């Protein structure tokens, strides 16, 4: 049951049955150990609140009337609230449309990834046409577990991500709104991403959107993988040479576009003399490291990579997530993943169709 | 890629894990026992209990030697135990006895042991950060590889002393680490009400030092992050800030009615966020330690605390003649 946050744009507007969009902004992203061990950017919750505020401008202009948002503690909601309050008192001159009504889901916050799962499930129940996600690879991974075929607009809140894009959210909001309101058709605007399904005995399957890495690290610890040390195998859903992180290793030996339905499996060389390739790779912001690759192969959707039992942990999308029992075998299967909104493609199509043209003004 | 040993937690030896568990269990048992003993009225002064936050003290201080420094808070028992202070001497101190670490004249909020690098618990909120700047400057000037760690709460992070210390440590490039134990409450005020910008880690940005957030209930997360920050400081890389998100099992002080907390908040915390339970499960699942070994630690710690309380109660009080000893330092 959504609860109306202080309504904004038009205070008196009733909650509309019009097009609605969900927003998941992870208050916990952007502060991990990579700020300490590498030069990762810092991204605070006030910045994220600003991103949501600007996003609303784009969504409203495209015709979205209602936005459902996951409540966020740790200052994000409070900062956003202050911005919306100021906006309501003094809206920016020249805006083509009011902001959508913003409603905050009423839910108990756990402070963990469960919050995002719950919020996405409720947004789907409420019939949102799209979900905008602000966070890192980890946040998107969690949302992808629950979003089904509701398209995601994947926005990065830092410089260390492969799956979401670093974008000005006003335009991302415009593109999402154009798709959500049917002003740009979904065909050509949406991309079917790949996913990696991680399965092991006695545990629910898990999901990664970018990569699964096998590491000798016994414990999850501070989560992030910022060094190649101890990593023995890697499976990726796409491979961009321009990415930052482990997926760039695959990108530099076997580049693979997003949404192509293929993946890459890489084995690292324990001894550089046995390496097929030795590469310099940007594994974290400010950190280019030497990586020795023993072998690689390209995967098709449905292919399974078997990981033999070993002590250590599995990192999903750059974060150690699963502590393995030493006798535990694991399989990783390349599968179809979530739908995402290709902002560039949407805006190109919008330009072609004149979807954002205003009616001529009469003098 | 695997030619280099993996960093961080993967390399913790079974001996180090046993020690970490022993430290956390000792803190928990010490605090749970004090909670019961305080209710009898035998303990003078106030006590502020650290139960629930053990993973932070254990995870950070595991990286420190006895010549490294720690400046603590009013909630200081955990830091003192992790830093190697004598548990019986601590208990006697809290009981105000002459056998206490400070001869019974300090009590809970002034437990100190300079020989162990423990600069003291501190009754002044935000009092620790300036102290570590002082010892950090000493280490820098003398050219030693010592580091200093201050612990501060979310309430303390609003104090001018905290922010001034971040500035000084940054400007002087001191070998110090500011650990913020954000347990969500400044006394009885939720951080949602007392803080502008809830993430304390963000404040580090303004002083040009890295600020990160870790789960303060997770020993491995704290240990890994602290290890990197301390190594950075030791090798001349300068200060950093680690914010540990955590909560406490008891009130601000013993006797606090805690009317500001949600229904079942503490029960839920104890059930779902127990650093000792999680630690035990993970090390045994990983096949590194046996349950029996942990149970032996539990038993020996219980005996230690029983003895500490019994001996503290039986020990003599300081006399009037002790009042003016150790007050002035001769140079």
Containing A291, the helix (H) or strand (E) segment is strand A287-300
Residue A233: strand, helix, or coil: strand
| A243 close to A137: Cβ distance less than 8 angstroms | no
Nearest neighbour of B221 by CB, restricted to A74, A222, A230: A222
Is the CB of residue B262 less than 8 Å away from at least one CB of chain A?
no
Do B197 and A46 lie within an 8 Å CB cutoff? Answer: yes
CA distance A304 to A298: 11
Do B7 and A228 lie within an 8 Å CB cutoff? Answer: no
| A237 close to A196: Cβ distance less than 8 angstroms | yes
Angle at B48 between CA B46 and CA B52, to 5 degrees: 160
Which residues of chain B make contact with A312, given a CB cutoff of 8 A?
A: 10
Backbone angles phi, psi at A335, to 5 degrees: -135, 165
Do B6 and A219 lie within an 8 Å CB cutoff? Answer: no
Whether residue B284 lies inside any domain: the answer is: yes
Q: Kind of pairing, strands A101-105 and A66-69?
A: parallel
Question: CA distances (Å), B204 to each of B167, B192, B200, B207, B210, in order?
Answer: 9, 19, 8, 5, 6
Long-range contacts of B326-331, Cβ-Cβ distance < 8 Å, separation of 24 or more: B326/B102, B326/B103, B326/B105
Per-residue pLDDT of chain A in tens (363 residues, 90 and over written 9): 444 444 333 333 344 468 999 999 987 777 888 888 887 777 777 889 999 999 999 999 999 999 999 987 667 888 888 889 888 888 888 888 889 999 999 888 877 888 999 999 999 999 999 999 999 999 999 999 999 999 999 999 877 889 999 999 999 999 999 999 999 999 999 999 999 999 998 899 999 999 999 999 889 988 888 777 889 999 999 999 999 899 999 999 999 999 999 999 999 998 888 898 899 999 988 889 999 999 999 999 999 999 999 889 999 999 999 999 888 899 999 999 999 999 999 999 999 998 887 765 554
Residue matched to tokens 């992030």: A224
For the domain that residue B292 is a member of, what is the CATH number? 3.40.50.970
pLDDT score for B329: 82
Do A312 and B221 lie within an 8 Å CB cutoff? Answer: no
Whether residue B328 lies inside any domain: the answer is: no
Long-range contacts of A185-188, Cβ-Cβ distance < 8 Å, separation of 24 or more: A185/A349, A186/A151, A188/A345, A188/A349
Question: CA distances (Å), B173 to each of B22, B232, B235, in order?
Answer: 34, 11, 11
Which residues of chain A make contact with B212, given a CB cutoff of 8 A?
A: 31-33, 35-36
Tell me the pTM: 0.87
Q: Determine the average pLDDT of the residues in B122-145.
A: 97
Backbone angles phi, psi at A2, to 5 degrees: -75, 150
Which residues of chain B make contact with A78, given a CB cutoff of 8 A?
A: 192, 198
Residue in chain A lying closest to B285 (CA): A325
Do A227 and B7 lie within an 8 Å CB cutoff? Answer: yes
| A265 close to A305: Cβ distance less than 8 angstroms | yes
Is the CB of residue A74 less than 8 Å away from at least one CB of chain B?
yes
pLDDT score for A223: 86
- Given a cut of 50, whether residue B9 has pLDDT beyond it is no
| B149 close to B119: Cβ distance less than 8 angstroms | no
Q: Determine the average pLDDT of the residues in B32-57.
A: 97
pLDDT score for A36: 87
Do A36 and B12 lie within an 8 Å CB cutoff? Answer: no
pLDDT score for A147: 97
Q: What residues contact A168, with CB distance under 8 A and at least 6 apart?
A: A54
Q: Which of B240, B152, B165 is nearest to B195 (CA)?
A: B152
Residue in chain A lying closest to B283 (CA): A219
Which residues of chain A make contact with B195, given a CB cutoff of 8 A?
A: 75
Q: Which of A188, A224, A221 is nearest to A318 (CA)?
A: A224
Is the CB of residue B212 less than 8 Å away from at least one CB of chain A?
yes
Do A75 and B3 lie within an 8 Å CB cutoff? Answer: no
DSSP A165: B
The distance of B87 to chain A (nearest Cα, Å) reads 29
Domain that holds residue B203: 2-7+20-314
CA distance A298 to A281: 19
CA distance B320 to B325: 10
- Given a cut of 80, whether residue B48 has pLDDT beyond it is yes
Residue in chain A lying closest to B231 (CA): A37
Q: Determine the average pLDDT of the residues in B319-329.
A: 89
Residue in chain A lying closest to B195 (CA): A75
Burial of A179 (0-12, 13-18, 19+ CB in 10 A): buried
Do A45 and B197 lie within an 8 Å CB cutoff? Answer: yes
The distance of A301 to chain B (nearest Cα, Å) reads 27
Domains within chain A, CATH numbers bracketed: 2-189+342-353 (3.40.1280), 194-338 (2.60.200)
* Alpha helices (runs of H) in chain A, residue ranges in sequence order: 34-37, 45-62, 76-89, 114-125, 137-146, 169-180, 247-253, 343-353
Give me the residues of B, 214-253, that contact A with CB < 8 A: 214, 218, 220-221, 223-225, 228-229, 232, 240, 242-243, 245
Angle at B256 between CA B250 and CA B258, to 5 degrees: 75
In total, how many domains does chain B have?
A: 1
Whether residue B14 lies inside any domain: the answer is: no
**Please, what is the average pLDDT of chain B?**
94
pLDDT score for A7: 39
Structure tokens belonging to residue A292: 């020795």
Q: Which of A228, A112, A236 is nearest to A163 (CA)?
A: A236
Residue in chain A lying closest to B217 (CA): A221
The distance of A193 to chain B (nearest Cα, Å) reads 28
Whether residue B325 lies inside any domain: the answer is: no
Give me the residues of B, 149-168, that contact A with CB < 8 A: none
Strand order in the sheet with B240-245: B69-71, B148-153, B176-182, B240-245, B211-215
Do A227 and B285 lie within an 8 Å CB cutoff? Answer: no
pLDDT score for A362: 55
Structure tokens belonging to residue A290: 């030497």
Which residues of chain A make contact with B6, given a CB cutoff of 8 A?
A: 215-217, 227, 229-230
Q: What residues contact B291, with CB distance under 8 A and at least 6 apart?
A: B280, B284
DSSP A109: -
Whether residue B60 lies inside any domain: the answer is: yes
Q: What residues contact A341, with CB distance under 8 A and at least 6 apart?
A: A130, A151, A152, A153, A154, A175, A176, A179, A189, A190, A191
| A24 close to A143: Cβ distance less than 8 angstroms | yes
| A184 close to A350: Cβ distance less than 8 angstroms | yes
Do B6 and A73 lie within an 8 Å CB cutoff? Answer: no
Is the CB of residue B263 less than 8 Å away from at least one CB of chain A?
no
Q: Which of A104, A23, A154, A48 is nearest to B199 (CA)?
A: A48
Tens of pLDDT, residues B279-307:
999 999 988 999 999 999 999 999 999 99
Residue in chain A lying closest to B218 (CA): A221
Q: What residues contact B185, with CB distance under 8 A and at least 6 apart?
A: B154, B155, B191, B248, B252, B260
Nearest neighbour of B220 by CB, restricted to A79, A219, A293: A219
Question: CA distances (Å), B246 to each of B56, B184, B273, B275, in order?
Answer: 9, 7, 9, 10
Structure tokens belonging to residue B104: 């019974």
Q: What residues contact A162, with CB distance under 8 A and at least 6 apart?
A: A137, A210, A211, A240, A243, A244, A245, A247, A248, A317, A318
Backbone angles phi, psi at A251, to 5 degrees: -60, -30
Which residues of chain A make contact with B12, given a CB cutoff of 8 A?
A: 218-219
Give me the residues of A, 83-122, that contact B with CB < 8 A: 111
The distance of B223 to chain A (nearest Cα, Å) reads 8
pLDDT score for A12: 32
Whether residue B234 lies inside any domain: the answer is: yes
């Amino acid at each position: 049951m959504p609860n109306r946050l202080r309504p904004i744009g038009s205070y008196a507007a009733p909650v509309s049955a019009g097009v609605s969009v969900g927003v998941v902004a992870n208050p916990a992203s952007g502060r991990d150990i990579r700020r300490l061990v590498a030069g990762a950017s810092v991204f605070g919750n006030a910045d994220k609140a600003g991103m949501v505020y600007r996003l609303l401008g784009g969504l409203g202009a495209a015709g979205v009337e209602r936005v459902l948002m996951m409540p966020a503690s740790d200052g994000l909601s409070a900062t956003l609230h202050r911005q919306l309050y100021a906006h309501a008192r003094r809206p920016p001159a020249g805006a083509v449309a009011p902001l959508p009504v913003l409603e905050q889901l009423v839910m108990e916050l756990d402070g963990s990834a469960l919050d995002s799962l719950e919020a996405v499930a409720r947004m789907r129940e409420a019939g949102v046409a799209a979900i905008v996600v602000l966070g890192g690879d980890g946040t998107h991974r969690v949302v992808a577990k629950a979003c089904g075929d509701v398209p995601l607009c994947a926005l990065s809140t830092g410089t260390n991500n492969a799956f979401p894009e670093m974008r000005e959210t006003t335009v991302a909001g415009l593109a999402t709104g154009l798709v959500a309101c049917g002003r740009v058709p979904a065909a050509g605007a949406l991309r079917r991403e790949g996913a990696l399904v991680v399965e092991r005995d006695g545990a629910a399957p898990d999901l990664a959107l970018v990569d699964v890495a096998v590491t000798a690290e016994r414990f999850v610890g501070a989560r992030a993988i910022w060094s190649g040390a101890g990593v023995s195998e890697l499976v990726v859903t796409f491979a961009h040479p321009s990415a930052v992180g482990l997926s760039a290793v695959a990108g530099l030996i076997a580049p693979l576009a997003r949404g192509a339905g293929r993946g890459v499996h890489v084995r690292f060389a324990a001894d550089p003399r046995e390496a097929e390739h030795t590469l310099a790779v940007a594994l974290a912001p400010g950190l280019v490291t030497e990586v020795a690759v023993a072998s690689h192969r390209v995967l098709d959707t449905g292919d399974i990579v078997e990981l033999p039992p070993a002590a250590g942990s599995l990192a999903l999308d750059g974060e150690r997530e699963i502590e393995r029992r030493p006798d535990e075998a694991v399989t990783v299967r390349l599968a179809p993943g979530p739908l995402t909104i290709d902002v560039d493609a949407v805006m190109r199509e919008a330009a072609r169709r004149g979807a954002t043209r205003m009616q001529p003004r009469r003098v | 890629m695997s030619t280099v040993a993996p960093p961080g937690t993967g390399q913790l030896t079974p001996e180090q894990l046993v020690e970490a568990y022993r430290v956390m269990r000792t803190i928990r048992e010490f605090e749970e026992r004090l909670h019961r003993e305080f209710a009898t009225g035998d303990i003078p002064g106030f006590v502020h209990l650290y139960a629930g936050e053990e993973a932070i003290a254990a995870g950070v201080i595991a990286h420190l030697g006895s010549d490294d420094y720690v400046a603590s808070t009013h909630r200081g028992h955990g830091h003192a135990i992790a830093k190697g202070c004598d548990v019986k001497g601590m208990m006697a101190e809290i009981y105000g006895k002459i056998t206490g670490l400070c001869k019974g004249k300090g009590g809970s909020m002034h437990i100190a042991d300079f020989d162990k690098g423990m600069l003291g618990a501190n009754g002044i909120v935000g009092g620790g950060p300036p102290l570590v700047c002082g010892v950090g400057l000493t280490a820098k000037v003398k050219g030693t590889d010592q580091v200093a760690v201050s612990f501060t709460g979310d309430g303390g992070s609003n104090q001018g002393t905290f922010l001034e210390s971040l500035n000084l440590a940054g400007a002087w490039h001191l070998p110090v680490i500011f650990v913020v134990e954000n347990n969500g409450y400044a006394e009885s005020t939720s951080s949602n009400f007392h803080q502008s910008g809830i993430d304390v880690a963000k404040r580090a940005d303004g002083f040009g030092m890295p600020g990160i957030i870790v789960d303060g209930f997770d020993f491995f997360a704290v240990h890994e992050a602290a290890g990197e920050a301390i190594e950075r400081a030791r090798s001349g890389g300068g200060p950093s800030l680690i914010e540990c998100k955590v909560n406490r099992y008891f009130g601000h002080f013993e006797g606090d009615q805690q009317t500001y907390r949600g229904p079942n908040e503490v029960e839920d915390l104890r059930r779902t966020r127990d650093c000792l339970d999680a630690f035990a499960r993970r090390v045994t699942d990983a096949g590194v330690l046996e349950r029996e070994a942990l149970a032996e630690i539990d038993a020996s710690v219980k005996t230690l605390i029983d003895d500490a309380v019994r001996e503290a109660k039986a020990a003599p009080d300081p006399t009037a003649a002790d009042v003016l000893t150790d007050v002035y330092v001769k140079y």
